[in-house]
Amino acid sequence: MNYCISHPTKILKGSIELTASKSESNRALIIQALCEDDFEIKNLAAAEDTRVLKEILTAVKLNTSYDVQTYDVGAAGTTMRFLTAYLSTKKGVNCILTGSERMQNRPIKILVDALRDLGADIEYVEKDGYPPLRIKGKELEGGEVLIDGGVSSQYISALLLVSTQFKNGLIIKFKGEVTSRPYINMTLRMMEQFLIPTEWTVSSIKVKKRIEEIIDESYYVEGDWSSASYWYAIAALTKDADIKIKGLNRQDLSLQGDAAIVNIFSKLGVHSEYSPQVYHLTKGGEVVKEFNYDFSDCPDIAQTVAVVVAALGIRSTFTGLHTLRIKETDRTLALKNELAKVGVEVEIVSDDMIKIHPNPLVLQSSPIATYEDHRMAMSFAPLALLEDSIIIEHPEVVKKSYPDFWKDLKKVGFVIEEI
């Protein structure tokens, strides 16, 4: 199935109730599962990744059998990593943790090695360093572990979230500079909201051993800034925009590193005005002639911004992209392939850098491939504002993080036809 997307006027006005953050939701679910006294999570994300995590956590809680259980995370990378750590600490668990074909080719060795150093019983079922995993949960001693600071923050967050279960607490020492700091900060700030004390020095993070009570109140999940990025892209490419995005905290109060889009898109012709829980987007401000940005702290919005700068004809250099090659797809290569279809050259300089050499966009009838990656579908959809229409392959991939994306586009005048 493909979608043909168009917009008759190229002028947008409307309000969107933004989907909740799956990053916050998934962290809250793990903390909730570890609490002796349950608490309510309000505004939990409707994302497929979050639904899968919640279902597996419920199944683990209800399972009283000693038989080996199999839990399938599908394509949910965060869920795979968080569950690897969580299940390792659950005494009595005996399971196989697996996922989609792509998931079975996404590395997890760094996390497994760290958990093994802390006492975990994990084996590879097939290929060394990759899922599926055989996990036998038990009480872990914990202690000190050394990790390369440049690895995916999800490995580090997975360890931090279960650190209160270790008898001797946890000290993570870093080799080299730590990247993706906002994602780690999100984890630490959420833990602190749940009264779990943490200490982050220059080269290490320390979490003391488990405390008796974590929380007995509810937790409200903020709207998702990654999803908001597509609305900023839409505002940047319209003839005129008057869009209100509801559900976001003020940028400087948000736990999410992707709130950086406010500053990024101010350079790309989008003006943001904040009132409580609402960002009002309009066209305004000068558009830069050259754009250079380090996405180390917000790699999930790199695709969105890449498509926008290409569409606006802005020569650009993106760095901090080293984690994109092990996501749902090799995202740098996917960008190169699909932007080539509209006449834009993407030069992959290294695992960490791309250069975008813009040319006038030539939108042809070739559909945009999505590579089983939700962000490819949503990043390229705004190009429909520059031509009569654009075709997106496998549009259903958006369910991974933003299930109502296409419905929300229709609310502001997009026409979406199934072909």
Residue 327 has pLDDT above 70, yes or no: no
Range of the domain at 312: 2-20+224-418
- Out of 64-68, 201-205, 310-314, which region has the weakest mean confidence (pLDDT)? 64-68
Domains in the chain, number: 2
Per-residue pLDDT of 126-158, as tens digits, reads 999 999 999 999 999 999 999 988 788 889 999
What mean pLDDT is predicted for residues 191-205? 87
Per-residue pLDDT, 216: 55
pLDDT cut 70: percent of the chain above it: 96
The yes-or-no verdict on residue 197 having pLDDT over 90 is: no
Neighbours of 181 (CB within 10 A): 15
pLDDT at 37: 66
> What confidence score (pLDDT) does residue 358 get?
86
CB distance 81 to 108 below 8 Å:
yes
The Cα 419–Cα 131 span in angstroms is: 36
Instruction: Kindly report the number of other CB atoms within 10 A of residue 130's CB atom.
Output: 18
| CA 147-169-78 angle, 5° bins | 50
- Indicate whether 212 pLDDT > 60: no
Contacts of 370 (CB under 8 A, 6+ apart): 376, 377, 392, 393, 394, 395, 397
CB atoms within 10 A of CB 338: 26
Query: Taking a C-beta distance cutoff of 8 angstroms, is the pair 158, 183 a contact?
Result: no
- Assess whether 265 and 156 both reside in one domain: no
Per-residue model confidence (pLDDT) at position 296: 87
Residues 96-111: b if buried by 16+ CB within 10 A, e if exposed: bbbbbebbbebebebb
Average pLDDT value for the chain? 91
Are 213 and 77 found together in one domain?
yes
Q: Which of 401, 225, 402, 229 is nearest to 306 (CA)?
A: 229
State whether the Cα torsion 142-76-26-182 is positive or negative: positive
Share of the chain above pLDDT 90, in %: 72
**Rounded (10°) CA dihedral 74, 325, 3, 8:** 140
Residues 323 and 408 in one domain: yes
Helix, strand, or coil (residue 29)? helix
Is the pLDDT at 211 greater than 70? The verdict is no
Q: For 105-118, what is each residue's pLDDT tens digit?
A: 999 999 999 999 99
Q: Do 350 and 213 share a domain, yes or no?
A: no
In eight-state DSSP terms, residue 223 is B
pLDDT of residue 196: 85
- Kindly indicate the confidence band of residue 89, based on its pLDDT and cuts at 50, 70 and 90: very high
Over residues 238-249, the mean pLDDT reads 95
Domain boundary among 203, 220, 237: 220
Regarding whether 50 and 186 lie in a shared domain, the answer is yes
b/e map of 264-273 (b: 16 or more CB within 10 Å)? bbbbbbbebe
| pLDDT tens digits along 263-309 | 999 999 999 999 988 999 999 888 999 999 999 889 889 999 999 99
CA distances from 110 to 129, 316, 354 (A): 8, 32, 26
User: How many angstroms separate the CA atoms of 116 and 51, rounded?
Assistant: 28
pLDDT of residue 210: 57
In angstroms, the CA 296 to CA 294 distance is 6
Residues contacting residue 117 through CB under 8 Å, at least 6 positions apart: 145
CATH number, domain of 158, equals 3.65.10.10
Q: Based on the domain organization, do 199 and 276 belong to the same domain?
A: no
Check whether residue 310 and residue 285 sit in a common domain: yes
Residue 300 annotated among the catalytic residues of the structure: yes
* One domain, residues 340 and 230: yes
Answer yes or no: do 179 and 258 share one domain. Answer: no
Q: For position 230, what pLDDT does the model report?
A: 97
Considering the domain architecture, whether residues 9 and 42 belong to the same structural domain is answered as no
pLDDT the model gives residue 183: 87
Q: Which of 219, 229, 218 is nearest to 251 (CA)?
A: 229
Burial label, 150 (beta-carbon count in 10 A; 0-12, 13-18, 19+)? middle
| 354 and 413 inside one domain | yes
**196, 220, 244 - which closes a domain:** 220
Q: Which of 49, 224, 258, 300 is catalytic?
A: 300
Work out the pLDDT band at 46, boundaries 50, 70, 90.
very high
Same domain, 200 and 69: yes
Kindly tell me if the per-residue pLDDT of 214 is higher than 60. Answer: no
Last residue of a domain, one of 197, 220, 243: 220
Pairwise CA distance, residues 169 & 162, whole Å? 10
